[in-house]
């Protein structure tokens, strides 16, 4: 858990960013502000990333992507030569081209091979031998996705940003670890974000083994989101902090 915060600046949480390592894959999911410094702090080998997957186009989820790409060329010794695959929702390529027009053509040609791919809701993409990425639409923005990673008979699901959604629960069925956004406390829920009770209900619908709550706005700080979510979900529940690490499988 690189960054468990939101767009709201926090002394303790940077914006959305998650690191997933499994056989042949080092995947960064979302790249919000603070990602790079947190990677350094937590000694995460960001320069060895094989894939970056962006859930949606809110700035707390991809605002630091240009910095990430630039750092691969100028921020690490030796400079990166290994290929990198960028993955995002439909419209991602066009966004990158427009962004390159502002920050510079290096964005799409950073000095190492860069591939950009778009993933449609419901689609599955091979990341490496035996490792797949799956996408599911979430009710948040027009393009917003949740991602699932399957490897070695295990499944990780990250909701990205989402509101309550029965279809998402069905899609997440049987995940070992559910990383769910938990933006706002019960009583302050809105249609495009989850409260602890709603995150718990999602984990229950999915039959998850473990629920890790993240994406905390200031309004929920100082409450007990894990305790509240536990009333709706009987499995293991953790309210994540930046730097937490979880292992799935053996």
State the Cα angle at 245 between 241 and 250, rounded to 5°.
Answer: 155
**Smallest distance, Å, CB 2 to Zn ion?**
14
Residue 134 or 143: the one with the smaller Cβ distance to Zn ion is 143
Q: What does the DSSP 8-state code read for residue 80?
A: P
Residue 38 or 150: the one with the smaller Cβ distance to Zn ion is 38
3-state SS class at 213: strand
**Smallest distance, Å, CB 88 to Zn ion?**
13
**Smallest distance, Å, CB 129 to Zn ion?**
32
**Smallest distance, Å, CB 225 to Zn ion?**
16
Residue 25 or 179: the one with the smaller Cβ distance to Zn ion is 179
User: CA dist 113 to 41, 72, 84, 118, 133, Å?
Assistant: 27, 11, 6, 17, 21
Applying CB under 5 A, does 242 fall inside the site for Zn ion? Answer: no
- In whole angstroms, give the CA distance from residue 202 to residue 208: 9
Whether 29 contacts 119, CB under 8 Å: no
Helix (H) or strand (E) holding 98: helix 92-103
- In whole angstroms, give the CA distance from residue 12 to residue 221: 11
Site string for Zn ion, 48-87 (x = CB under 5 A): ----------x-x---------------------------
Residues in the interface with Zn ion (CB under 5 A) total: 3
**Smallest distance, Å, CB 147 to Zn ion?**
14
**Smallest distance, Å, CB 16 to Zn ion?**
6
| Beta strand pairing call for 177-181 and 210-214 | parallel
Residue 64 or 161: the one with the smaller Cβ distance to Zn ion is 161
Q: List, in order, residues 6 or more apart from 248 with CB less than 8 Å away.
A: 154, 156, 176, 177
Whether 44 contacts 37, CB under 8 Å: no
Residue 32 or 169: the one with the smaller Cβ distance to Zn ion is 32
Applying CB under 5 A, does 161 fall inside the site for Zn ion? Answer: yes
Residue 54 or 156: the one with the smaller Cβ distance to Zn ion is 54
**Smallest distance, Å, CB 55 to Zn ion?**
8
Whether 175 contacts 161, CB under 8 Å: no
Residue 88 or 110: the one with the smaller Cβ distance to Zn ion is 88
- Name the one range near Zn ion by CB under 5 A: 109-117, 161-169, 171-179, 240-248: 161-169
- In whole angstroms, give the CA distance from residue 207 to residue 67: 37
Residues that bind Zn ion (CB under 5 A): 58, 60, 161
């Amino acid at each position: 858990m690189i960054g468990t915060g939101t767009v709201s600046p926090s002394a303790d949480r940077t914006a959305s960013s998650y690191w997933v390592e499994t056989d042949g894959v080092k995947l960064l999911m979302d790249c919000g502000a603070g990602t790079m410094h947190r990677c350094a702090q937590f000694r995460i080998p960001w320069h060895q990333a094989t894939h970056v997957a962006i859930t949606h186009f809110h700035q707390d989820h991809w605002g630091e992507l240009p910095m990430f790409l630039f750092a691969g060329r100028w921020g690490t010794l030796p400079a990166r030569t290994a290929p990198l695959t960028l993955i995002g929702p439909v419209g991602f390529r066009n966004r990158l081209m427009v962004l390159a027009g502002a920050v510079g053509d290096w964005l799409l040609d950073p000095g190492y091979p860069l591939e950009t791919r778009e993933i449609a809701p419901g689609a599955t993409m091979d990341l490496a031998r035996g490792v797949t990425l799956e996408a599911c639409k979430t009710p948040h923005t027009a393009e917003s996705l949740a991602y699932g990673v399957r490897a070695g008979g295990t499944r990780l699901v990250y909701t990205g940003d989402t509101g309550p959604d029965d279809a998402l629960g069905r899609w997440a069925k049987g995940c070992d670890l559910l990383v769910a956004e938990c933006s706002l406390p019960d009583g302050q829920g809105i249609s495009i974000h989850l409260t602890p009770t709603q995150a718990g209900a999602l984990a229950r619908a999915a039959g998850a083994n473990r629920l890790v709550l993240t994406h905390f706005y200031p309004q929920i700080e100082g409450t007990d989101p894990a305790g509240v979510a536990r009333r709706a979900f009987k499995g293991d529940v953790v309210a994540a902090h930046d730097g937490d690490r979880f292992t799935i499988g053996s």
